[in-house]
Homo-oligomer: A and B are copies of this chain.
Amino acid sequence: MSFKTNATIAQFGGQLLKLTHDSKVTKTPMNVNVFIPSVKKASKLPVLVYLSGLTCTPDNASEKSFFQYFASKFGFAIVFPDTSPRGADIAGENDSWDFGTGAGFYVDAIQEPWSKNYNMFSYVHKELPEELAKAYPQLDFDNVSITGHSMGGMGALVGFLRQPRPYKAVSAFAPIGNPSVVQWGEKNFGNYLGEENKSKWAEYDPTELIKKYKGDDSTPILIHQGLGDNFYEAQLKPQNFVDAGKHYKGGIDLRLVDGYDHSYFFISSFVEEHAKHHARYLGL
C-alpha cells in the first residue's frame, strides 16, 4: 500500500507532506499529514502522533496548532491522521457534526453499519504507523508518543493506556476524559459499540482504563484544560480521569488555565509545554 503525495510544503525548515492512501481497515482512502523536520538523514526520527477533535481533517491542526515550530526545534516528526473515514457512504453518516464523518471517536466499531469502515483504533494505532514506517523508514515508530485535542485527547489517552504501540508518553488538550458518562460518548459509543455494551465502552474510556491500568506508570500525563471552555463540564470532565488515576505513580498533571476556550487558540498557546514533554520522553 503506498501513499500518494498531494502536496509537499516547506515549513519551519522541514516539510509538511499531505498524503492519501487506501486503508484496509476503513476500506476508504484516508488523508494524513506528516511533518518531517530537517535533520541529519542518518538518524531515525522520533514521532509524535497528533489526534484531532470532532469535525477536523488533518489540515486544521497542521495550519493552526503551531506544533511544527517546536517539532522542528526538538527534532521529531508529527503525524496528523484524519478523524474518521470519509465517503464510506453510510446512511446517517453526515447528519451531525458530532457523529459519523469527522467523529470516528478512535474506536473499532462493532455495530452494523459502522463496523465495516469505522475502525479508527486499528487505523491510527496499527495500520497507519505500519504503512508510514514502510514508506518513510526514517520515521521511528518504536520511539513514538501521542497527543490530541478533545475527541483526539481521549484517543491519545486511550492509545497510551492500551499500548497498541509502545507510546513513550501522552498528553492531551481538553480531552473527553470520561466519554461513557457524557452525551458525546453516549451517542458515539452507543452507535459504534452498542447501546448496552458498557464493557466495550470501557475499553475506550480513559477514566475506566486508568482504573485498571497495570503498565509502566513512570511517565507523567500532561493535560491542559481551559476554564473558559464551553464543553468542560458537560462533555470533557478531565477531573474524573484525574480522580480515577490517583494511583498512577507518574502523576496526572492537569493544568486548568483561566479564560481559555476549546479552540486552536487554546491549543497553540500551550503546544510549547506539550512539545517539551514529548521531546523529553522521546529522548530529545
Q: Which chain B residues border A5 with CB–CB below 8 Å?
A: none
Q: Does A136 have its Cβ within 8 Å of any Cβ on chain B?
A: no
Q: In the bound complex, do residue B10 and residue A268 qualify as a contact, i.e. CB atoms below 8 Å apart? A: no
Q: In the bound complex, do residue B265 and residue A9 qualify as a contact, i.e. CB atoms below 8 Å apart? A: yes
Q: Does A11 have its Cβ within 8 Å of any Cβ on chain B?
A: yes
Query: Across the two chains, which residue of chain B brings its CB closest to A12?
Result: B269
Q: In the bound complex, do residue A261 and residue B9 qualify as a contact, i.e. CB atoms below 8 Å apart? A: yes
Q: Which chain B residues border A9 with CB–CB below 8 Å?
A: 261, 263, 265
The answer, among B69, B257, B258, B261, for a CB contact under 8 Å with A66, is B69
Q: In the bound complex, do residue B63 and residue A11 qualify as a contact, i.e. CB atoms below 8 Å apart? A: no
Which label, helix, strand, loop or mixed, suits the secondary structure of the A interface? mixed
Q: How many subunits of this chain does the assembly comprise?
A: 2
Q: Does A64 have its Cβ within 8 Å of any Cβ on chain B?
A: yes
Q: Which chain B residues border A63 with CB–CB below 8 Å?
A: 63-64, 264-265
Q: Does A13 have its Cβ within 8 Å of any Cβ on chain B?
A: yes
Q: In the bound complex, do residue B269 and residue A10 qualify as a contact, i.e. CB atoms below 8 Å apart? A: yes
Q: In the bound complex, do residue B13 and residue A269 qualify as a contact, i.e. CB atoms below 8 Å apart? A: yes
B-contacting residues, A61-113, CB 8 Å: 63-64, 66, 69
Q: Does A283 have its Cβ within 8 Å of any Cβ on chain B?
A: no
Q: In the bound complex, do residue B11 and residue A266 qualify as a contact, i.e. CB atoms below 8 Å apart? A: yes
Q: Does A169 have its Cβ within 8 Å of any Cβ on chain B?
A: no
Query: Across the two chains, which residue of chain B brings its CB closest to A66?
Result: B66
CB of A11, distance to nearest CB on chain B (Å): 4
Q: Which chain B residues border A64 with CB–CB below 8 Å?
A: 63-64
CB of A65, distance to nearest CB on chain B (Å): 10
CB of A232, distance to nearest CB on chain B (Å): 14
Q: Does A215 have its Cβ within 8 Å of any Cβ on chain B?
A: no
Q: Does A228 have its Cβ within 8 Å of any Cβ on chain B?
A: yes
Query: Across the two chains, which residue of chain B brings its CB closest to A259?
Result: B10
Q: Does A16 have its Cβ within 8 Å of any Cβ on chain B?
A: yes
Sort A-B residue pairs by CB-CB distance and give the 9 closest, nearest first: A10-B259, A11-B265, A10-B260, A11-B269, A12-B269, A66-B66, A9-B265, A63-B64, A10-B228
30 A-B contacts, Cβ less than 8 Å apart?
A: A9-B261, A9-B265, A10-B228, A10-B257, A10-B258, A10-B259, A10-B260, A10-B261, A10-B265, A10-B266, A10-B269, A11-B260, A11-B265, A11-B266, A11-B268, A11-B269, A12-B268, A12-B269, A13-B269, A16-B265, A63-B63, A63-B64, A63-B264, A63-B265, A64-B64, A66-B66, A66-B69, A66-B268, A69-B69, A69-B268
Q: A10-B265, A11-B260 are in contact. List 9 more A-B contacts (CB 8 A).
A: A10-B261, A12-B268, A13-B269, A63-B63, A63-B64, A63-B265, A64-B64, A66-B268, A69-B268
